[in-house]
Amino acid sequence: MRIFKRKGYYYLQHSFRKEGKVITRETYIGEKLPKDIKEIKERFLQKHVKSRLYKQLEQIRAGFQKDWNKTPESVKAEELKEIAIAFTYNTNAIEGSKITLAETRAILQEKIAPRKPLYDIKETEAHAKVFLATLQEKEELTEQLLLQWHREVFRETKKEIAGKYRDYRVHVGIHIPPDWQDIPILMKKLFDFYKENKSMNPVELAARIHYKFEFIHPFGDGNGRIGRLLMNHILWHKKYPILIIENKKKLAYYKALEKGEEKFVQYFLRTYLKANKKYL
């Protein structure tokens, strides 16, 4: 989307590709840029971009549910295990785990431990267990549930921080998260935002909640893993397929997080559409 000037007047323009063709939409703004330009942009997006996007996302939901509902229960159980293996491998690998995909499968399916650090093995087991529970048990998304996830994933490997918000400053690449003293109020605002925006498309809501959570960075360790559990809890219980951020594409994920909420949401939506293009 861009603002440009033509013959002394301002216009708002957005171009997108549809069926191999570039389509451009624009709207007149006026001789001067109005103070409510942000609201004008949002209305323009809603009319020309989001409505089309939401239709695609709803098409994905409908296609996924059609496939899932006709799947036998025994096959569903096996499919969930496969999803848990892929998600657990990728989400842990992003955070530096040396456990491979094959080793993740051996740990979770065959109870065979590779010659890797014990804490990596234990976190693999604990994460998969928590993840499957989030899919199978429809619990209301609350701050207490989030703390429970963290406690269960890290209680055997990082006992001193498991299930607790940090009480010290941290640095995350170029991002300096908020002061630890602000975490309680920021987390309350996060869940207030979630409650107030349940009518938002679940894919966009998952993206925004994930970004806001990672920005706060409330835990001493494990924020990425808990944040990705958080976004997939929203998607799954709104009957959308989950999104696995692949380890091999983590740089694009990190860069998107660094660019701010709106850029991250755009990245998330593009990634989600690409991952589920078979339903479009």
The two tokens of residue 194 are 């979630």
- Angle between the 183-196 and 202-216 helix axes, to the nearest 10 degrees? 180
Burial of 60 per CB tally in 10 Å (0-12, 13-18, 19+): buried
175 as an active site residue: the answer is no
- Name the residue among 133, 152, 143 with its Cα closest to residue 236: 133
Q: How far is CA 238 from CA 92, 94, 161, 182, 199, in A?
A: 25, 26, 31, 31, 11
Catalytic option among 48, 217, 233, 237: 217
- Name the residue among 239, 249, 200, 269 with its Cα closest to residue 91: 249
Which residue blocks in 47-155 are alpha helix, DSSP H? 51-69, 73-94, 101-105, 118-136, 143-154
Q: Which residues make Cβ contacts (< 8 Å) with residue 233, sequence separation at least 6?
A: 134, 141
Residues found in the chain: 280
Q: What is the DSSP annotation of 196-251?
A: HTTTS-HHHHHHHHHHHHHHH--SSS-HHHHHHHHHHHHHHHTT-------GGGHH
C-alpha span between 1 and 17 (Å, rounded): 13
Q: Give the strands of the sheet with 21-30, arranged side by side.
A: 2-6, 9-18, 21-30
Q: Which amino acid is at 236?
A: W
Q: Which residues have a catalytic role annotated?
A: 217
